Amino acid sequence: MWIDTHCHLDAHEFGSELLQVAARAQQQGVAMIVVPAVERANFAIVRDLAATAPNACYALGIHPIYVPHATEDDLIALRETVALAMHDPNFVAIGEIGLDFFIPMLCEPAMRVKQEHFLREQLKIARDFDLPVLAHVRRSQDIVLKHARQIRPNGGIAHAFNGSFQQAQGYIDLGFKLGFGGAMTFTRALQIRRMASELPLDAIVLETDAPDISPSWIHPGRNSPEELPRIGAVLAELRGLELADVAAQTSANARAVLPRLPLME
């Protein structure tokens, strides 16, 4: 069985098909799909989706791309929503949170300050509720790591990790796992494939980030959690391991870093 640790199953690209997509993923052996929120407006959406799809659970957070329009009231609402969600067995983490220094508008000085403020406040929520985080670290691995070292959430996942071995070790030392997905399937992605091959296997979790970061065989089409087993097969090939061993270890890693994950039948 497989665990997709990061999938935006509520995205508009899935339309009315999202429950069928989740069901097809389950038929492919994807026993659990973690669906992170991205803004206050979809907190209830991801919660209700997880209550409806038997192989879905959810996280709550404000994504850095949504920070420009977010307010302090959204942070207050997040803390209040998390407090209530602690009683929900489908709620697993704070996410998706982090920093994005790839999009030019988000790199403007005032927006960098706002992003870091929202990251710190959400890390504090994770710390206060003893929760892991799903961290967006695009072009920002070191700065996210700096804030996580200062505030110390209960571990988490560095989503779509594309850093150095030194940065990877920094996250591992904080109790994080590193998320690998569709980018690893491209033969030209030499650094990501080297990381996936050489990092300790117990530090790696698998993800699709669907509908984004589609693997090589469907790029640039819509990604789906159904693709996770084939992405896992690429990891197995890179490491020279049996597919079943990669499935078992990455699922165990996901469960270790996300201890609230619902039990799989």
Contacts of 212 (CB under 8 A, 6+ apart): 8, 223
Q: What is the pLDDT of residue 14?
A: 96
Q: Which of 94, 194, 170 is nearest to 136 (CA)?
A: 94
- pLDDT of 265 over the 60 cut: no
- pLDDT of 90 over the 90 cut: yes
Model confidence pLDDT, tens digit, residues 23-41: 999 999 999 999 999 999 9
- pLDDT of 145 over the 90 cut: yes
Q: What is the pLDDT of residue 263?
A: 83
Please state whether beta strands 91-98 and 133-136 pair in parallel, antiparallel, or not at all (unpaired).
parallel
Model confidence pLDDT, tens digit, residues 214-238: 999 999 999 999 999 999 999 999 9
Model confidence pLDDT, tens digit, residues 31-79: 999 999 999 999 999 999 999 999 999 999 999 999 999 999 999 999 9
- pLDDT of 210 over the 80 cut: yes
How would you class 180 by CB atoms within 10 Å of its CB: exposed for 0-12, middle for 13-18, buried for 19 or more? buried
Mean pLDDT over each residue of the chain, to the nearest integer: 97
Question: What SS3 string covers the chain?
Answer: CEEECCCCCCCHHHHHHHHHHHHHHHHCCEEEEEEECCCHHHHHHHHHHHHHCCCEEEEECCCHHHHHHCCHHHHHHHHHHHHHHCCCCCEEEEEEEECCCCCHHHHCHHHHHHHHHHHHHHHHHHHHCCCCEEEECCCCHHHHHHHHHHHCCCCEEEECCCCCHHHHHHHHHCCEEEEECHHHHCCCCHHHHHHHHHCCHHHEEECCCCCCCCCCCCCCCCCCHHHHHHHHHHHHHHHCCCHHHHHHHHHHHHHHHCCCCCCCC
- Is the CB of residue 100 less than 8 Å from the CB of residue 64? yes
Model confidence pLDDT, tens digit, residues 146-162: 999 999 999 999 999 99
Q: What is the pLDDT of residue 151?
A: 98
CA Rg value for the chain: 17
- pLDDT of 256 over the 70 cut: yes
Structure pTM? 0.98
